[in-house]
Amino acid sequence: MTDMSQPPISPIGQSVQRREDYRFLTGAGQYTDDVVLPGQTFGVFLRSPYAHARIKSIDTIQALKAPGVVQIFTGADLAEAKVGGLPCGWLIHSKDGSPMKEPAHPVLAQGKVRYVGDQVALVVAETQWQAKDAAELIDVVYEELPPVIDIRTAGTATSSVHDDVPGNVCYDWGHGNKDAVDAAFAKAHKVSKLEFTNNRLIPNAMEPRAANAQYTRHDESYTLYVANQNPHVERLLMSAFVLGLPESKVRVIAPDVGGGFGSKIFLYAEETALVWASKRVGRPIKWTAERSESFLTDAHGRDHATTAELATDDKGNFLALRVKTIANMGAYLSTFASSVPTILYATLLAGQYKTPAIYAEVKAVFTNTAPVDAYRGAGRPEATYVVERLVETAARDMKMDPAAIRRQNFITEFPYTTPVGLTYDTGNYAAHLDKALELADVAGFPARRAASVAKGKLRGLGYSCYIEACGLAPSNIAGALGARAGLFEAGEVRVHPTGTVTIFTGSHSHGQGHETTFAQVVAAKLGIPIESVEIVHGDTGRVPFGMGTYGSRSLAVGGTAIVKAVDKIIAKGKKIAAHLLEAADTDIVFENGVFKVAGTDKKVPFGSVALTAYVPHNFPLDKLEPGLNENAFYDPTNFTYPAGSYVCELEVDPETGRVRVEQFTAVDDFGNLVNPMIVSGQVHGGIAQGLGQAMMECCQYDPASGQLLTGSYMDYCMPRADDLPSFTLDHTVTPCTHNPLGVKGCGEAGAIGSPAAYINALTDALGIRDIAMPATVERVWRAANR
Amino acid sequence: MNIPVSLTVNGKRVQADVDPRTLLVQFIRDELRLTGTHVGCDTAQCGACTVHMNGRAVKSCSMLVVQAQGAEVTTIEGLAKNGELHPMQAAFRECHGLQCGFCTPGMVMSAVQILKDKPNACEQEIREGLEGNICRCTGYHNIVKSVQLCQSGKVSTTV
């Protein structure tokens, strides 16, 4: 039992080394593809080679005769078994009040294929090779149809992605006060306008998606191993909405997951087909995506075409913002697709500013491309890009200092309700801007620019002051906005008789380090060593419930659920201690792992109380149940609002178009930090993804054929170590006011704030108004030599 | 028709009859069940499959196991010795050079090679050396720091 004589130092706020690292560093991690089940078979999906085609016939006769083939399934089998389509979790209504169009999203194609990679058949064989070989023997006759690719013309295309959605518009949504915005624009001193594309990205978690599904006859249950960020949501959607199975018969395990970035939130067709087929086959079926399948079929991100205008008065005060966006949904509505360019986008258009009037229109369209859904930041990077590019442009139009125009328009009093419906609880925007200016040595920039010019280079400086709404989400607010799910989190604290503790959390870690951070929180609360706390996540068979990890919510929502459960443990512990110490419940205090009678030296350590709870010989059994095990659900009362100021400084070689990021400074306000090392790691990774979007990443479909042109790492440019600088990071702190840890979330900030900072710096260096993302070497060279 | 192969993996002699098209990474993962070596792409770009063969870092997805006939192969599982982490592994842990862990084994194997080739590599050389390994989580910042810490010799390898 723990020595309680010395009060332990709270691990909250300490950069504790990660407990998960040993297994990852020694090859002992266990990812989905590492799992081999007895009697294992392998699944391969035959996919559409066309962006848009009618399936005339599917002939599997030769394929079925191929060596090792166990069974082959097509859409007809699923239709016969009345397997439903994949659901969308968020209902958006158009301006005219009509609900969004929700065309069927079949698990295997029914009559038509709608993007290159759309799954047509599932081949199950003894080995992966045999399944692949057999898939090539399936004879599908297609009748090609004209594809819809360009989002700007999708709404007027003669071809329809879905026969039941002529015109290809999923919804035409409006948000904010249009009349107020029009009135403000009418009296504006200056209107700054930009038209741009927020480039389409492919998430590229390094672990490709994978699933392994097993049916067990003895209890008629299914077990699914899957690379997923939210196993309970996966189970709920799959069992209740698609396969019609009781949730109690489906266990979803998301073991070690090699990165998600949003792309592993969703319920995909592949794992659904595997679960369904596993009963027919009577053996477990494993499918692991090849990277080219990931490129083709992981839900992509961003892909907006936007026109945005900011109205200012003669002193540079922002009067109104007007935004018009066309957003790509791809061929089918992925799980949360509809919410991303609406609820997670337009509500963030106030940024850090007191712009009094804002109006946004978003038209979502279907195209013959892979589904588009949440990718790190999800809507908020797009909103930040709109706001921060416009603000920088307005500063230039007004000939004002870009930091000064921001500062002048900052929201300074909290709580603050924006004209787009959010209430920011707290923040201090000038504090992180000041710190960023200092760290980036903005004062010294003119001299550095002169030095660059002297050697024939161009140098630029750009800002981005982002805000995000994280800690998703208050369920009642989300519900009113169209969410079809609750967005709380669940946690269980199981104290063992020896005083060690197992925490079961609905949050999932796929790189974020929950096994360390959550243990820090619990160890601090209970005053026990971090080694005494075990974190369990990612298994619906062990964790009571959960909504999973996305929207930078794990610590703010999942962590709070755990804190609430720990509070219940302490409350019960006090009653047990009161009995042991022969005192009143109300006289017991709990400090540093010891229950004490206030104002006396009578005390009993946590470990003894735990033991008493399970060996209740001297226990108030008339008033209290034995055992020490508590559950809690936490539904937040507001979003959290992480915010920060980023400064990018770069140098352009006009001869080659090459850009070097000389310094990237990020000062974030995430509220309190539990593990600063992990927080910094999250910011580094986010910035790399944001700079990737700004500098080099772009998903491209051939506009005529709909073929994916960027379908491998040879074609899709991923940021490598030598593309990026080391980053300069710091923090300011205004604790979140509505969760007990005072935390806001840090997972997405880097990806949200950095693209605008980079493009602002680049346009500053080049002396141009705009440059398209990704600002490739070619685009930069052309701009420098225009 | 299967072909016999014989090689040494992590100091242990292994023999098997394999389909001739078997890649080294498939042999390591599927036959030997050493699943620390990962497959992250199909174009020899991501480096998650990096192992050492005869003392050199190689991408085990872009060679056949029959090409490793008689070779000495070390995978991530064989890097720690006698319960002690290799200094590079320890440095990654200390510098938070990993997040999801998927690219990590390949990244560590490549990083070991970089310092073997250039013990005094500067930051730019380290970054260029890591060019063949993609990480989506860390932004490389802490991976570079890890390599530099290992380089400094000031890393504690005790588990």
- For the stretch A62-121, pLDDT in tens is 999 999 999 999 999 999 999 999 999 999 999 999 999 999 999 999 999 999 999 999
Q: What CATH number was assigned to the domain covering residues B3-78?
A: 3.10.20.30
* Site from A26, A32, A132, A727 to mutate, B interface, most B CB atoms within 10 angstroms: A26
Q: B139 vs A687: CB contact, 8 Å cut-off?
A: yes
Residue A411 has pLDDT above 50, yes or no: yes
Q: Is the pLDDT of residue A7 over 50?
A: no
CB A95 within 8 A of CB A342: no
Residue B38's pLDDT is: 98
- Range list for CATH 1.10.150.120 in chain B: 87-152
Task: For the domain covering A21-26+488-634, report its CATH number.
Answer: 3.30.365.10
* Token pair 């990443």: residue: A697
Partner A contacted by B103 (CB < 8 A): yes
A204-297 adopts what CATH topology?
Answer: Aldehyde Oxidoreductase; domain 4 (3.30.365)
Residue A18: list chain B partners with CB under 8 A: 93, 96
Same fold, A204-297 and A304-473+638-784: yes
> Rounded CA gap, A275 and A532, in Å?
37
Say which CATH topology domain A304-473+638-784 has.
Aldehyde Oxidoreductase; domain 4 (3.30.365)
Does B110 contact A at CB distance below 8 Å? Answer: no
CATH 3.10.20.30, chain B: domain bounds: 3-78
C-alpha to C-alpha distance for A681 and A746, rounded to whole angstroms: 10
Kindly determine whether residue A21 and residue B98, on different chains, have CB atoms separated by under 8 Å: yes
Q: What are the two backbone dihedrals, phi and then psi, of residue A453, each rounded to the nearest 5 degrees?
A: -60, -40
In this complex, the residue of B29, B100, B140 whose CB is nearest that of residue A259 is B100
If pLDDT is split at 50, 70 and 90, which confidence band does B42 have?
confident
**ipTM of predicted complex:** 0.98
At A10, list the tokens.
């709270």
Contacts of A28 in chain B (CB under 8 A): 36, 77
B93 contacts A511? CB cut-off 8 A: no
Q: Which residues of B touch A719 (CB under 8 A)?
A: 139-140
Q: Pairing relation of β-strands A119-125 and A41-47?
A: antiparallel
- Shortest distance, CA A688 to any CA of chain B (angstroms): 5
Residues listed for chain B: 159
Domain boundaries, chain A: 21-26+488-634, 204-297, 304-473+638-784
Nearest beta carbon to residue A24 from set B94, B98, B135: B98
Q: Do B134 and A713 touch (CB under 8 A)?
A: yes
- For residues A261 and A652, give the distance between their C-alpha atoms in angstroms, rounded to a whole number: 30
Tell me the Cα Rg of chain A.
Answer: 27
Q: Which residues of B touch A665 (CB under 8 A)?
A: none
- Cross-chain CB nearest to A17 (options B94, B104, B128): B94
pLDDT band at B68 (very low <50, low <70, confident <90, very high): very high
Per-residue pLDDT band for A3 (boundaries 50, 70, 90) equals very low
User: How far apart, in whole angstroms, are the C-alpha atoms of residue A132 and residue A143?
Assistant: 24
User: Pick from B48, B108, B130: which is nearest to A721 by CB?
Assistant: B130
Tens of pLDDT, residues A656-687: 999 999 999 999 999 999 999 999 999 999 99
Q: Is B141 on the interface with A (CB under 8 A)?
A: yes
Q: What is the pTM of this model?
A: 0.97
The rounded distance, in Å, linking the Cα atoms of A566 and A570 is 6
What local confidence, expressed as pLDDT, does residue A9 receive?
66
Percent of chain A exceeding pLDDT 90 equals 98
Structural element, H or E, at residue A303 = none
- Read off the amino acid at residue B76: I
Looking at CA atoms only, how far is residue B122 from chain A in angstroms? 12
Q: Closest partner residue to B139 among A18, A34, A724, by Cβ?
A: A724
Which chain B residues are Cβ-neighbours of A129 within 8 angstroms?
19, 21
A533-537 β-sheet, strand order: A533-537, A501-505, A489-495, A629-634
Is B122 an interface residue toward A (CB < 8 Å)?
no
Class of domain B87-152: mainly alpha
